[in-house]
Chain A
Amino acid sequence: MRGSEPIVEIRGLVNRFGRHVVHDGLDLDIRRGEILGVVGGSGTGKSVLLRSIVGLKRPDGGSIRVFGEELQRLPSSRRASIERRFGVLFQRGALFSSLNLQENVALPLIEHAGLSRVDAERLARVKLALAGLPADAARLDPAALSGGMIKRAALARALALDPEVLFLDEPTAGLDPIGAAAFDRLLVTLRDALGFSVFLVTHDLDTLYSSCDRVAVIAQKRVLVADTLSVVEATDDPWIRDYFHGPRGRAANKAAQQSTLPEGERR
């Protein structure tokens, strides 16, 4: 299932806000079934890139081909049906505060899949459990949740329609290390089970080492390198050196090696 077939192709992407250029000639592919980690300093436009792909921001130049079709050129009805194959987890969860958790997850099932409310909420509870939430959380309001539970509930909602590409914006930011590690494991488990691709914006080095198949580094308004971790680490660039070979990078690398050793070579 996992191959090199790209399902999202970005070529020469340009994004700017007023006179501030965020992306200038950015190229990137997302391949089927992979977990692609996207890193970069604060303000390098990782979230803007995510928003451009899912269609929340109109690019100022370049092309974004999704499932072989140019999103910008499609009529809006066709585009909506493609965007339905995306799942997005926003940085702060963005759960609908007027709905409880199972209603949050059930909403796309009712609206897009045409399920009855009873069926949708039943399926929503399965998704919430898949995302690792306890059964009694289904009727809670988002305001009553901790940060980790919000991320899990938002993941359940992103998974509601069994998306082919999942976009995650800093999913482990603000979680405690145990919660973050559990989230990383959950992501890999679900990817293996459901076979979706993941576009993962993160600052979390542990996430990069434990779950990403490829890593794309955004700097100088474009993608510097997008490859497996070992290639990225070896790239000769001052920012990449500081990022991966700084104290935190070394610690994460060591931790990842120790945890993978007993299971043998994972990738």
Chain B
Amino acid sequence: MPDTASRPGMLEQQAHRLSAVGDWTLPHYARLRDAVARVHEADSVDLTKLGELDTSGASLLVDLLGPDAVLEVAQWAPGLPPERQALLEAVAEASRTSPVPPPAPRPAPLAALASLGQIVEQLARQQLQLIAFIGLTLSTLLTTLLTPWRWRPTSLVAHVQQTGLNAIPIVALLTFLVGAVVAFLGATVLRDFGATIYTVNLVAYAFLREFGVLLAAILLAGRTASAFTAQIGSMKANEELDALRAQGLDPMELLVLPRVLAMTISLPILTLIGMLCGMFGGALVCAMALDISFAQFLAIVQRDIPLGHFLVGIAKAPLFAFVIAVIGCLEGFKAEASAQSVGEHTTSSVVQSIFMVILLDALAALFFMEMGW
């Protein structure tokens, strides 16, 4: 359809006969449709002055005359070239078998109520599924622990590398920066009391108890939970999970366990690295802005900070790791066979795992405070 010398399509009324003039093609669709809508009844139309014709134009002619009349095009427009006739007949045949399906209408307030209900129900089901999945993971873990020949060290090591080793630079950098920021904050506030020396305690307390584990966990929730969901989700979309099951292999054992175990190994190590880097960031600020040397910093830490704080912090790491990995894997299993769905579940897994990490951290803080640890 060369667009040179195109004349806009028109519907002309001459005496008692309609005449289709010009190009009945896609670019003129909107105007032609209005013209067709204005005609009330017609059983034939003069096609001798018709220019180009494509499926959209043909479908308009079908709208104008009705499919049955167009199917008999050979009778009322014998001069039409056979390929035009074939086009009109094909479109008429297609239109006859396609009555417009009615869209499902629903009043707006009702729809809002319905979607609210759906969200609540979905949330409840999500928590139930999470608990069930945790149970399934634990029971698979137990049965696998008892059968050492089913352990998968290769897969485990590969995942430790991906989730742990490869995350070291970003965790180290981030905790270092936050450590420096905390030290600056502490120095600014404590200067008024002439107690800048306590900046050391502030940084050490913060990173040993909370920030080390929390920052590492949040980073892994963003970095690894999303990766788990995307991996398992696209495997599911590609029917790979079904292929595993059909071969009598358990996706829980093959896919979930190595990921969960790798996370529970990686996160405590990353937490330790985070604590060290955070305190190093704090120490650097202390040395440069407060004239507290590294030796002094270490001496204060050694004198004032009991081991208990470190234990409180590091003890939370395996728990957070387990929750993050389980949520990441579960969301992957819940994904459906579309790019949209994998994306939605990846988002959901990151949001859920960060939420759960912070929630658990708050509960743990309450618990440790009440226990006086």
**Interface residue ranges, A against B (CB under 8 Å):** 1, 97-98, 109, 113, 115-116, 119, 122-123, 125-130, 134-136, 138-139, 141-143, 159, 161-162, 164, 189-190, 192-195
Quick check: is B55 within 8 A (CB to CB) of the other chain? Answer: yes
A-B contacts, 16 of them at CB < 8 A, read: A109-B26, A113-B27, A116-B30, A119-B29, A119-B33, A123-B55, A125-B100, A126-B91, A126-B98, A130-B91, A135-B97, A135-B98, A135-B101, A141-B338, A143-B336, A162-B1
A161 touches B337 (CB 8 A): no
| Distance A113 CA – B339 CA, assembled complex (angstroms) | 26
B98 touches A125 (CB 8 A): yes
Q: Point out which of A109, A122, A161, A162 has the most chain B C-beta atoms below 10 A from its C-beta.
A: A162
| Distance A134 CA – B338 CA, assembled complex (angstroms) | 23
B1: chain A residues at CB < 8 Å are: 162, 164
Q: Least Cβ distance of B106 to chain A in Å?
A: 15
B86: chain A residues at CB < 8 Å are: 189, 192-193
The majority secondary structure among interface residues of chain B is helix
8 Å CB contact of B90 from A136, A162, A193: A193
B55 touches A127 (CB 8 A): yes
Could you mark each residue 79-99 of chain B with 1 if its beta carbon is under 8 Å from any beta carbon of chain A, else 0?
000010011011100110111
B247: chain A residues at CB < 8 Å are: none
Residue ID in chain B nearest A138 by CB atoms? B101
Q: Least Cβ distance of A164 to chain B in Å?
A: 7
Q: Least Cβ distance of A134 to chain B in Å?
A: 7
Q: Least Cβ distance of A89 to chain B in Å?
A: 16
Quick check: is B361 within 8 A (CB to CB) of the other chain? Answer: no
A115: chain B residues at CB < 8 Å are: 26, 29-30
**Interface residue ranges, B against A (CB under 8 Å):** 1, 25-27, 29-30, 33, 54-56, 59, 83, 86-87, 89-91, 94-95, 97-101, 336-341
| Distance A189 CA – B83 CA, assembled complex (angstroms) | 10
B26: chain A residues at CB < 8 Å are: 109, 113, 115, 161-162
| Distance A138 CA – B98 CA, assembled complex (angstroms) | 10
8 Å CB contact of B339 from A97, A161, A189: A97
| Distance A143 CA – B165 CA, assembled complex (angstroms) | 38
B27: chain A residues at CB < 8 Å are: 113
A139: chain B residues at CB < 8 Å are: 101
| Distance A143 CA – B238 CA, assembled complex (angstroms) | 12
Q: Least Cβ distance of A98 to chain B in Å?
A: 4
**Beyond A162-B26, A189-B90, A190-B90, is A143–B338 a contact (Cβ under 8 Å)?**
yes
Q: Point out which of A115, A130, A195 has the most chain B C-beta atoms below 10 A from its C-beta.
A: A130
B30 touches A119 (CB 8 A): yes
Q: Least Cβ distance of A157 to chain B in Å?
A: 13
Q: Least Cβ distance of B98 to chain A in Å?
A: 4
8 Å CB contact of A162 from B55, B94, B97: B55
B33: chain A residues at CB < 8 Å are: 119
**Beyond A193-B87, A194-B54, is A135–B99 a contact (Cβ under 8 Å)?**
yes
| Distance A140 CA – B13 CA, assembled complex (angstroms) | 41
Q: Least Cβ distance of A144 to chain B in Å?
A: 10
8 Å CB contact of A136 from B89, B101, B337: B101
| Distance A97 CA – B56 CA, assembled complex (angstroms) | 25
Q: Least Cβ distance of B121 to chain A in Å?
A: 21
| Distance A138 CA – B102 CA, assembled complex (angstroms) | 11
A128: chain B residues at CB < 8 Å are: 98
**Beyond A97-B339, A190-B90, is A162–B99 a contact (Cβ under 8 Å)?**
no
B56: chain A residues at CB < 8 Å are: 123, 162
B83 touches A195 (CB 8 A): yes
**Beyond A129-B94, A135-B99, is A194–B339 a contact (Cβ under 8 Å)?**
no
A136: chain B residues at CB < 8 Å are: 101
B340 touches A113 (CB 8 A): no
A97 touches B337 (CB 8 A): yes
| Distance A176 CA – B99 CA, assembled complex (angstroms) | 28
| Distance A190 CA – B59 CA, assembled complex (angstroms) | 14
8 Å CB contact of B98 from A97, A129, A190: A129
| Distance A97 CA – B233 CA, assembled complex (angstroms) | 14
10 closest Cβ pairs, A-B complex? A97-B338, A129-B94, A98-B340, A129-B98, A193-B87, A193-B86, A135-B98, A162-B54, A130-B94, A193-B90
| Distance A125 CA – B86 CA, assembled complex (angstroms) | 19
| Distance A22 CA – B9 CA, assembled complex (angstroms) | 47
8 Å CB contact of B94 from A116, A126, A141, A142: A126
| Distance A68 CA – B27 CA, assembled complex (angstroms) | 23
**Beyond A119-B33, A135-B101, A161-B26, is A126–B338 a contact (Cβ under 8 Å)?**
no
B337: chain A residues at CB < 8 Å are: 97, 143
A195: chain B residues at CB < 8 Å are: 83
**Beyond A97-B337, A139-B101, is A129–B95 a contact (Cβ under 8 Å)?**
yes
| Distance A130 CA – B25 CA, assembled complex (angstroms) | 17
A130: chain B residues at CB < 8 Å are: 55, 90-91, 94
| Distance A159 CA – B26 CA, assembled complex (angstroms) | 12
8 Å CB contact of B338 from A109, A135, A142, A164: A142
| Distance A223 CA – B192 CA, assembled complex (angstroms) | 85
Q: Least Cβ distance of A153 to chain B in Å?
A: 14
A134 touches B97 (CB 8 A): yes
Q: Least Cβ distance of A38 to chain B in Å?
A: 25
A127: chain B residues at CB < 8 Å are: 55
| Distance A9 CA – B27 CA, assembled complex (angstroms) | 28
